[in-house]
Amino acid sequence: MKTAVIGAGGWGTTISLLLNEGGHDVTLWARSEELVSSVRRTHENESYLPGIEIPQKILITHNAELLQDKELYVFAVPSQSLREVATALSPFIKNKKALYVSASKGIERNTLKRMTEVIQEVLGVESDRALAFSGPSHAEEVARKIPTLVTAAGSDPKAVKIVQEAFFLPNFRVYSTSDVIGVELCGALKNVIAICAGIIEGEGYGDNTVAALISRGLAEMRRLGIALGADEQTFAGIAGLGDLVVTCLSKHSRNRRVGEEIGKGKSLTEVLSGMKMVAEGVWTTESARELAKRHNIEMPIVEETYRILFEGKDHRTATRDLMRREAKDERG
């Protein structure tokens, strides 16, 4: 297929490598002309994916006109930038026959829309042409062909099959589902829980605490997901539990890293100013809290994370308050 990947960060670059390995024609679009020049010169994305060779067959460009007439568009930009980027590129990428895949993990601030909803709105795409792509897939490992599993989600089985087959490789296994809502919510909400996992690490707590966080964090994710129309089973799968575990525990997790620094006493402003790549969970915390309020869903971990990040609450006090909540049935 003729494909285009929008966003040349670590994940976007890795997606272009996967599509290229699968024999597809790949155009990788980058917002930064400087990045394009660097990759063309060195055949490596030194800023976001160092040490990985980028084949010359992959066309990396800043020229939006070269994105026209593709069959598959994959968005791998930060979630809060998706609307802006899609709007700017819309004259060149609108195609009623194309499929549009979101590989971005987040919930848009203010609108509280999922990424496929943003794509549909900006590009005038029918819901069956907008798909989600998510799972435990750190770019640093996928690019080195470490065995990885993800999930492709869409309302049209034929469209999902096309995406599944486009990415299916010996070391990259793709499952399919019709639960777009569940897959997107899992990909977004697990980043919030990962910030908490980092805080636990920074505080010096142990494995018991992290295990408890993952278990109860998943319960919160599931509660909100069901309220929004997701399939409960999705939260126990690759896009749910799988991605939650890796993001909470991995050294590659930017969201966990944010939490670690906060747990060591730094402010959110200090942490973010020292980061080159985006930690999606920070802004997703704000969106998840608002969704929980709108739908009257109890999400105490998300609530305390919000207070730590945006209201300056001491993280140890937040931990104490969570531990001292009234006794409940675990299934509640």
Spot the catalytic one: 190, 266, 276, 328: 190
Cβ atoms of 156 and 100 closer than 8 Å: no
Q: Which residues of 75-107 are buried (b: 16+ CB within 10 A; e: fewer)?
A: bbbbbbebbebbeebeebbbbeebbbbbbbbbb
User: Whole-angstrom Cα distance, residue 157 to residue 281?
Assistant: 30
Cβ atoms of 194 and 170 closer than 8 Å: no
Cβ atoms of 133 and 102 closer than 8 Å: yes
Q: Known catalytic residue: 190?
A: yes
Catalytic residue IDs: 190
